[in-house]
Amino acid sequence: VVQSLASSAHATTLEGGAQTISLFPTASQLAIKQLGINGGGVFGVNSAHPLENPTPLTTLITAISVNVMGWAAFFAFGRSVMAKKEVRALVVAAFLMLGAAGAALYVIESQPAPALVAADVSTSAGNMEGKEVRFGVPASVAWATQTTGASNGSVNSMHASYMPLGGAVTMFLMQLGEILPGGIGSGIAVMVLMAMLAVFVAGLMVGRTPEYLGKKIEAREIQFAMFVVLIVPLSVLGFSAVAAVLPEALAGLLNKGPHGLSEILYAYTSATGNNGSAFAGLSANAPWWDTTLGLAMLLGRFVPAVAVLAVAGALVAKPRLAPSAGTLPTHGPLFIGLLIGVILILGGLQFFPALSLGPIVEHFDMLQFMARF
């Protein structure tokens, strides 16, 4: 269908050369791509292409489209289970983490590129490598934050060209399980499981059986929740460990050393999270990468779905309990802080060692390079 709809136009440049311009009914596909959080672009450079995303206004509209259905799923869930206050707490927690990630990414990318510093070229634009000049750093990092917080792989800048810590931020947003707000329905599903783990931790602290949304959270529910929490690091780190030593996998890397490891980590993180974006240097069209990335997508999509359904089935059979004096309120600032802590500790403990060997090492290499000038 794509081939039948695609066409091209031939133009003569001002210098007298010939140029072939790819054409496509882009507008009709862009709405599906962004609202459906698919992320696959009809042009090779995705939403950085001027025929797909020509102005800051289209950037704003399409970036909002990425998240509107994911956030709507949060509020739809709150209405369906009659727990609006509890779900608002989940929204606040997700929004705070997403905002903090976006702010960090902006600070990181606002710094000048090391090569410009070495060449003694002053610039106030920040790191513009891999970014469109019509968007600049602000629109680029805002897009990167939203598309990695959701399971949407569209890009308007090249994440592989970000500063090392900038690439780490985009990876970490996906490694959290893409719950900020994540996919349509899948983000709220995983966030509810994180909330269950948070009340479970609180219950252990005070020695009471934890409750969430009026249901007792017992061993069975926590076991299924842990399937969801553990499948992401199992897939990402397991496949990455093998790929880091396998010659067939290493042949697809553009870069060696820490950035090469970042390419591997990003690929499996994106595939497991069903995001779809990539570090552009990796040539993944090879039997090893096609097979293992496909398996990572299957693990990341279907194992959490089955586990969430199992949790739902276990909870629906339990009676709804009235709040008591020992029930932890799950709609206030205390719970929001506890939930954020559980999410970050789980993500940090699972992925920080791997990130330390990839983007964090690359960051210190960059600092050492800049110190020479």
* Prior bond of 181 cis (ω within 30°): yes
- Which pTM was predicted? 0.91
Distance set, CA 103 to CA 141, 142, 224 (Å): 9, 9, 34
Q: Are the CB atoms for 231 and 175 separated by under 8 Å?
A: no
Q: Which helix (H) or strand (E) holds 35?
A: helix 26-35
Taking each helix axis from N to C terminus, what angle separates 186-206 and 56-80, rounded to the nearest 10 degrees? Answer: 50
Q: Are the CB atoms for 24 and 41 separated by under 8 Å?
A: no
Res 2: pLDDT: 40
Res 123: pLDDT: 64
- Residue ranges in the chain whose pLDDT is less than 50: 1-5
Res 288: pLDDT: 94
- The residues near 121 (Cβ < 8 Å, ≥ 6 apart) are none
- DSSP letter at 157 equals B
Res 29: pLDDT: 81
Res 1: pLDDT: 38
- DSSP letter at 357 equals I
Residue 92: count of CB within 10 angstroms of its CB: 16
Res 114: pLDDT: 74
Res 4: pLDDT: 43
Res 347: pLDDT: 78
Cα 348 to Cα 89: distance, rounded to the nearest angstrom: 22
Residue 96: count of CB within 10 angstroms of its CB: 15
Structure tokens at 21: 């311009």
Res 21: pLDDT: 79
- The residues near 167 (Cβ < 8 Å, ≥ 6 apart) are 159, 160, 262, 266, 279, 359
Domain ranges of the chain: 56-370
Cα 354 to Cα 236: distance, rounded to the nearest angstrom: 10
Residue type present at position 150? A
